[in-house]
Amino acid sequence: MSFKLHIETRRLNLAHTWTIARNSSDYKDNVFVALEKEGITGLGEAAPNVRYNETAALTTEHIRSVEDFLAGYDFFHYENLINGLRERITGQNCAVAALDMALMDWLGKALKAPLYKIWGLNPADAPSTSYSIGIDSPEQMQQRVRERQDMEIFKIKLGKENDREIIRAIREVTARPIRVDANEGWKDKHLALEQIEWLAGQNVQYVEQPMPAGQHEDMVWLKQRSPLPLFADEALHTGSDIPRIADGYHGINIKLMKSMGLVEARRMIHTARALDMQVMLGCMVESSLGISAGVHLSPLVDHVDLDGHMLLANDPFRGLSLQKGRVVPANAPGLGVETVK
Ligand SMILES: [Mg+2]
């Protein structure tokens, strides 16, 4: 039985400089994997994130280190295979995510069905995605919103000094619902509460990671007072983090790069539901390949923020479409994406 593992780093250029509360970038170096077994190739993507000490070089090294383990495993036994990957790869969650994704793509191609069908999901049940507006001058942020009148919800990045000025500017150009992501930018709980109370009058759905992940006691205080639902992003990676943070947030933002892929992401959805928490499915800056994996899972969640591929100037993959604000996968085997020639 032949087995091949191909790993490649590709630079994804952002259409506009991408700025959030803690940093700014013009491109991302993501790692792409192709797992070939029995004549079928599964594709996956890792988006290393500096916030979690991930790099393309370390991700590549970790993926390469499990080559023999993968070669000897039956890919249909993916539950245990992915558990084994999680034991062998530590500290680079996105590396496991890329392999999990490639295995799910391989599975769908082997069974000749889209992943959502294998999982019994209907893409029409997925919520509309939000479209993220990175931090910039209020005028530029207004322009980004004007350019995407096809989007039903906007996610506005905040966490600097002029948050209210930004929201006022956005409200001049759209009445659509917005959600806010402070990316840990508000360091003081009283400031965070003041901002959230003001935002509650601005047709804001919810606020993501208002305070630093490490300030959990402040989040408990804030949750008891916040007029808007609060969602954890930087404060969690996998399912075992959820019970620990449940008293500080109303919901969680699952990202495949943090969760180490789809298998764990599905488990997290059930854990969150058991704790009466809402579920959002987000992403990093990823191509259509990485985003497609989330899209197959999206019928199971309350809120979707799967827009990473829309922020790119050079998406190396295609297969997703936007239908009435919803990101829809192709009706094709596996993840349903193909390389742009
Ligand atoms: Mg976030």
| pLDDT tens, residue by residue, 41-92 | 999 999 999 989 999 999 999 999 999 999 999 999 999 999 999 999 999 9
Residues 105-134: pLDDT tens digits?
Answer: 999 999 999 999 999 999 999 999 999 999
User: What is the 114 CA–ligand 1 centroid distance (Å)?
Assistant: 28
User: What is the 74 CA–ligand 1 centroid distance (Å)?
Assistant: 36
> Domain ranges in the chain?
3-112, 117-339
User: What is the 109 CA–ligand 1 centroid distance (Å)?
Assistant: 32
Domain boundaries 3-112, corresponding CATH code: 3.30.390.10
Are domains 3-112 and 117-339 of this chain identical in fold?
Answer: no
Report the candidate in 129, 222, 230 with the shortest Cα–Cα distance to residue 180: 230
The pTM (predicted TM-score) of the whole model is 0.96
Residues 198-228: pLDDT tens digits?
Answer: 999 999 999 999 999 999 999 999 999 999 9
Residues 30-53: pLDDT tens digits?
Answer: 999 999 999 999 999 999 999 899
pLDDT band at 22 (very low <50, low <70, confident <90, very high): confident
Tokens read off for 272: 């969150």
Strand partners, 312: 14
Task: State residue 21's pLDDT score.
Answer: 83
User: What is the 186 CA–ligand 1 centroid distance (Å)?
Assistant: 13
User: What is the 122 CA–ligand 1 centroid distance (Å)?
Assistant: 26
Rounded to whole angstroms, the Cα distance separating 233 from 230 reads: 10
Domain boundaries 117-339, corresponding CATH code: 3.20.20.120
User: What is the 233 CA–ligand 1 centroid distance (Å)?
Assistant: 5
pLDDT band at 1 (very low <50, low <70, confident <90, very high): low
